Amino acid sequence: MLRLVSIRLFLFFLLQPLVCGAVSLDTLTVPYPAHAHNDYMHERPLFDALENGFRSIEADVFTLGDSLYVAHDKKDVRQGRTLRALYLEPLSEYLANAGGALYDSSCPLILLVDIKDIGLSSYKLLDRILNEFREILCQVYSEAYFRGSVMVVVSGNRPMEYMMKQTRRFAFVDGRMKDLSGEYDPQLMPLISDRWGKYFSWKGKGSMPEEERVQLRLYVQQAHEKGQLIRFWATPDKPGKERDALWTELLEAEVDLINTDDLDGLRTFILARRDESKD
C-alpha cells in the first residue's frame, strides 16, 4: 500500500547519505549514488544494475504501436525489448516476491525513461502503461505525494506542461541546470541532470581547478536546498586515473548520481573509497 507523505518528508526521502551500504537482491538497504547509463545495453538489463547496488537506471524508449521499445536508436529496436518486458514486469514480479521493497523503503529505485521520439504522444502511452503498475510506483494524486518502491523520471522529450496539469501522475520530470533557479518543486522535478562539459572544462587530468570545484559544490548545494537530486552525464568513463579523479570529486561534492556504463567499476571504486575512509 502506497503511503501519503508530506512535502517536508518528501524532501527527506530524496536526500540520502552519499556513500551507502552494500546491496544484494536479498538484502534491503540504501543503494550507492550511482546511475546505470543505457542500462539496457548490459547483458542483464535491470538486474546487473540492481546487483551492483545502483540507485538509478536509464532506459531510452521509442513508440511503436502500443508499446514503448527500449533501444539507443530506432534502428536498434528489437521484438520483445519493451519497457514493460525489460523493466516494469520484472520489477513488479520481484517486488511481489520481496515483500514490496527493492532498497530501503525511504529510497525508491529511480527508473529514468528517456523519450527519444515525439514527447507528448510517447508520454501519454507511458502514462497508460504505468497505470497498470501503479502499486509499485511513486506518484502524485490531487497534489499529494505517495511513496512507492520505484520512481519513474521522464527525460529527453519531456511534455512538462502536460505533466504539470495532470491530477494523477505516475512519473516525474528530469530537470536541467537552468531549472535550479526555476519554479519547479521536487514533487514535479526531483532530479536535475545535465552534460558535464557544458559547465566544466576539467576532465580529470591534473587537479580540478578550484573555481570549478567551488562551482560544482554550489550546484549540489542549490539542488539539495530545493530537495532535488543532481546528476551529470557524459563524464569521462574510461578506466584510469582521470576517471578516478573525477569520480572522487563527484563523491566529495555529494553528487547524488554518478553516471557510468561500467557498473562493476563504479561499485568497486565506491567500496575502495569507503575502505580508505575507515583507515
Residue percentage of the chain with pLDDT more than 90 = 80
Domains of the chain, residue spans: 3-272
Question: Residue 17 is which amino acid?
Answer: P
The average confidence (pLDDT) of the chain is 89
Q: What is the pLDDT of residues 10-22, one digit of tens each?
A: 444 444 433 333 3
* pLDDT average, residue stretch 229-250: 97
* pLDDT average, residue stretch 113-120: 95
- The region that residue 206 occupies, defined by phi over 0 for left and psi between -120 and 50 for alpha, beta otherwise, is left
pLDDT at 28: 39
pLDDT at 265: 97
CATH architecture of 3-272: Alpha-Beta Barrel (3.20)
* pLDDT average, residue stretch 253-257: 98
pLDDT at 105: 65
CB 57 within 8 A of CB 39: yes
Distant-in-sequence, close-in-space partners of 108: CB < 8 Å, separation ≥ 6: 13, 102, 138, 147, 148, 149, 150, 151
Say how far apart CA 35 and CA 81 lie, in whole Å.
21
Helix 210-225 and helix 241-252, axial crossing angle in degrees, nearest 10: 40
Say how far apart CA 12 and CA 14 lie, in whole Å.
5
Q: What is the pLDDT of residues 153-167, one digit of tens each?
A: 999 999 999 999 999
* pLDDT average, residue stretch 188-208: 98
pLDDT at 136: 96
Say how far apart CA 247 and CA 29 lie, in whole Å.
22
For residue 239, report the phi and psi dihedrals to the nearest 5 degrees: -55, 140
pTM above threshold 0.95: no
Burial of residue 225 (CB within 10 Å: 0-12, 13-18, 19+) is exposed
Indicate if the pLDDT at residue 42 is higher than 80: yes
Residue 276's pLDDT band (boundaries 50, 70, 90)? Answer: confident
Residue percentage of the chain with pLDDT more than 70 = 89
